[in-house]
Structure 1
Amino acid sequence: MNSSQENLPTYFENLPNEVIYEIFEYLDFNDINQVFSKLNLRYHSLVNNPTFHIKLHISSISKNTFESYCKHILIPYQNRIYSMNIENLFIFYLSSPLHTLSQYSQLEILILKNIESNHIINLLPHLSLLPNLSSLIIMPIDHFHNVNNLYHAIFNLSALKYLKISLNENYSNEPLPIVKNHYNSIEHFVIDSNCSITHLKVYLSYLSQVRRLSCKKLLESFYVEQSLEYLILSNLTHLSFQSENISFNQIKLFIRNLSHQLQVFRFSTEFDITYLN
């Protein structure tokens, strides 16, 4: 064996701290803590550096393992957690600090996936106490009884910049009330589900700072059309949506008041050939 082969095990050890932290970006903190913190003093210091922000991915996990996770990760490191991806259906049935999240003052990114809608609704009021929460993704496992409660709570989060909602239902709730002069910090809004054009117009009345807006499937409205004249969306530059049954006239009326701000408009449809004229 030559000398270069003998030195191979030390290569990772010789990486600078900056590179090690870049590698950590692709790993869950629980794995980092288990694998690296006990290797040597250097890695212990890197893992426990207070400037190293922690991201967590909580998926399938047993009750006993989760209790240990709370004891060794969620509680002692709560002031350093900046990203949390929660994908476990049963976590909110257990006693844990995740029932409020309000103590995670450094949390910037929150993903709620495969969580029951009632737990999400109960959690949302506590998110207003997170001063740094800038990105929120919600993908429930079931249906919201009233989707307006979801949006009303979210639109009152003061620091949010990115919002993605993926719902399972073709909801038929009447839209939220129109608002005027409502300040909201959301700049990028993704509706990864069906949405009527009337609901979308109402949402825009809450999104004074929105820059990018996309909708997976825009539907024809079943309610009295709302005027867009009151909207001042001077920051909206990117608009994207798909549709199957919405008429060309509804689309034309929708974008007429927005077109002078838009830089990019993407639209796809399957049925109405008048779009080609």
Structure 2
Amino acid sequence: MKNLISISSKLEIFPNEIFFEIFDRLLPSDLYQAFYGLNIRLNTVLNDSRMRFRDNISSFNSKEFRSYIQNILPQILNRLVSFTFGTYDTDEYQQASCFLHTYSIDLTHFQHLRTLVIIKMTISDVPIIQSAVIRLIHLVNLRLSVDSNDVGRLSVVNITNDLLLGSRLKHVKMDMCARIVFENINQISNIEQLSIVWCQLQELTHLLQYTPQLYTLKATISGLNDSQNWIESFPINFTQQYNLRLRSLKLVIDSILFDHLLLFLQQLTELRSLWLLLNHYEYMNVDKWENLFKSSLVKLDQLDLTIALMKPILPVQTILFSTPSLICEKFNTKFWFDRGWCAKLHEYDHCIRLIVLNNMISTIKRLKRQ
């Protein structure tokens, strides 16, 4: 009994900052269940306005979620700095929908939020999120995903200025399972890292005009609605005109002509790292790649180029572009070796994959020469 009293008295003299450090490593739901109500001191620490919380409730079942919304969230809402909600398995219940509609939680009350992750919301929820995000003045990281069960073949997600204009917003990831449209974007954003699934090429070029601070871009992109109009309106000296600082680009390409992709890449003259996943025989044209790297992407150092083709390879393709094995040899000439890149051909039962990437040995030798 004396030992318990002694421990209790020692806890009483600890400064609040010690508790902050300890509690910072625990989830709020665990904290309040374990410590709230034990004594006045712990209650005071948990309710201290300086106390900040990080929480992820995506694994909660419906009963746990309901209890959390009713008992825990009201006490910590304006002190959360990182919050994740929504479930990956929406068969049991749709947590994001319950959060936004059943309980009508207003995200604008999360005034100290720096990271927000919403998993598997509906497309109709996107406008609600956009109008809230612009008012979260401390938000730095934003990640959104849409439930694929809510997406139709012609579904479109319209992104407005509100989503990207946060003064501190730097990192954004959007996995919408539907075409993302940026035509309503007309103000400069400060975001530095962006991930998109998916949009069309003309939408991406439009967005880049308003994201001069963008450093890293990952996107799944598809073809053009009006290729001729896009070609005619595409600015010359795109990077210089819009002061782009894009250094790292990762693209999954579907249904885009090689010449259109080249026109886009030729403008990104500051690129240092390029990762591409392509799925058409047309991209086997080694001469076009060499011309791109000689004339435009002269600063490129890191390359990861994958061309995946389904079998059988048609005779007309081998006539136009040669066989995959011979093409692989062309990707292994002095031009590629001098840049530290090498090609490998992987053949499977139903497909082939030609991969061009950095060769560590040649890269080390090149660096030593420099």
TM, length-normalised to structure 2:
0.59
Quick one: distance in 1 between partners of 2:204 and 2:22?
Answer: 39
Which segment is superposed worse, 41-50 or 247-256? 41-50
Which segment is superposed worse, 29-38 or 117-126? 29-38
1:104 corresponds, among 96, 105, 110, to: 110
Q: Secondary structure of 1:160's partner?
A: coil
2:235 corresponds, among 212, 225, 228, to: 228
Query: Is 2:145 aligned against 1:139?
Result: yes
Say if 1:213 and 1:239, in contact at 8 Å, map to a contact too.
Answer: yes
Q: Secondary structure of 2:112's partner?
A: coil
Hey, what does 2:193 align to over in structure 1? Answer: 188
Say if 2:161 and 2:184, in contact at 8 Å, map to a contact too.
Answer: no
Query: Is 2:29 aligned against 1:30?
Result: yes
The percentage of counterpart residues that share the same residue type is 21
1:19 positional shift = 10
Hey, what does 2:359 align to over in structure 1? Answer: none
Q: Secondary structure of 2:209's partner?
A: helix
Say if 1:228 and 1:254, in contact at 8 Å, map to a contact too.
Answer: no
Quick one: distance in 2 between partners of 1:183 and 1:160?
Answer: 12
Say if 1:55 and 1:81, in contact at 8 Å, map to a contact too.
Answer: yes
Quick one: distance in 2 between partners of 1:58 and 1:244?
Answer: 35
Change (3 A) 1:23 1:256: farther
1:40 positional shift = 7.3
Hey, what does 1:250 align to over in structure 2? Answer: 260
Say if 2:165 and 2:188, in contact at 8 Å, map to a contact too.
Answer: no
Listed as ranges, the matches of 1:46-65 within 5 Å are: 47-59=46-58, 60-62=60-62, 65=64
Quick one: distance in 2 between partners of 1:201 and 1:91?
Answer: 35
1:161 corresponds, among 170, 181, 206, to: 170
What letter corresponds to residue 119 of structure 1 in structure 2?
Answer: D
| Structure whose CA Rg is larger | 2
Hey, what does 1:274 align to over in structure 2? Answer: 285
Say if 2:130 and 2:160, in contact at 8 Å, map to a contact too.
Answer: no
Partner deviation per Cα, 1:117-140 (whole Å, 9 max, x = no partner): 212322321222111011111101
What letter corresponds to residue 189 of structure 1 in structure 2?
Answer: L
Structure with bigger RCO (C-alpha 8 Å, 6+ apart):
1
Aligned residues: CA RMSD: 3.3
Change (3 A) 1:201 1:72: same
User: Normalized per residue, which structure has more helix?
Assistant: 2
Change (3 A) 1:52 1:219: same
**How many matched pairs?**
253
Listed as ranges, the matches of 1:65-144 within 5 Å are: 65-87=64-86, 88=95, 89-96=97-104, 98=105, 100-141=106-147, 142-143=150-151
Partner deviation per Cα, 1:206-230 (whole Å, 9 max, x = no partner): 2121111111x22222223141345
Say if 1:134 and 1:159, in contact at 8 Å, map to a contact too.
Answer: yes
Change (3 A) 1:151 1:93: same
Change (3 A) 1:85 1:36: same
Q: Secondary structure of 2:29's partner?
A: helix
